[in-house]
Amino acid sequence: SATSTSTTQGTTPSSKRQKMFAPTTIYVQLTERDRLLSPQQVEMWRFFWESFLPPFNGYTTYRLIIPPNPGLWGPWSSSDPLLELGPSLMGPFAFEWEAQQKTLAAVRILKSLGFVDVTRPGMSYILMKWGYPDREVLRRTIPGLVEGLGIICDNCIPDHRWLRYIQWQ
């Protein structure tokens, strides 16, 4: 469910406090199964996310949360990248269903790419891990991708060309 925060509307003493709802934070782990990534694979993922995030943000209102010191602690400085996706400035929302709708859209898109939801009960965030999808999974979740790009192996990292095939709606 969506995380809620309270904000005060207006400046008069008679103003009522209105509860606001934000989409749930999503953590995305990019390791392939339980193996660490090579520097080249990390760079491939970084290039993909740089292309993927603008349309993803526009459709879901999620953005990449960059740590205060990205040079030392940023996701691309690790062989086991973990991305934090949080709501952009378009949230919070007045209704819980609006926030949940954005969260569900984000999870649906990530699942179509091959990420697996590994969230456990009681977690206040969503955890998704790269599922290393095979071509049959990709044929189901992103129609036309495998044939359109001529993907010939199951163990591939997405690239910017995949964006043409993602069903954003």
Distance CA 138, CA 144 (A): 9
Q: Rounded distance, CA 150 to CA 148, Å?
A: 6
pLDDT of residue 12: 46
Global pTM?
A: 0.81
Burial grade of 114 (CB within 10 A; 0-12, 13-18, 19 or more): buried
Half-sphere exposure of 85 (CA within 13 A, CB side): 25
Is residue 152 classed exposed, middle or buried when 0-12, 13-18 and 19+ CB atoms within 10 A define those classes?
A: exposed
Report whether 160 contacts 51 (CB < 8 A).
yes
- Tens place of pLDDT for every residue, the chain, 169 residues? 444 444 444 444 445 556 778 789 999 998 866 778 899 999 999 999 999 999 999 888 888 887 766 565 567 888 888 899 998 766 677 788 888 888 999 999 999 999 999 999 999 999 999 988 889 989 999 999 999 999 998 878 999 999 999 988 7
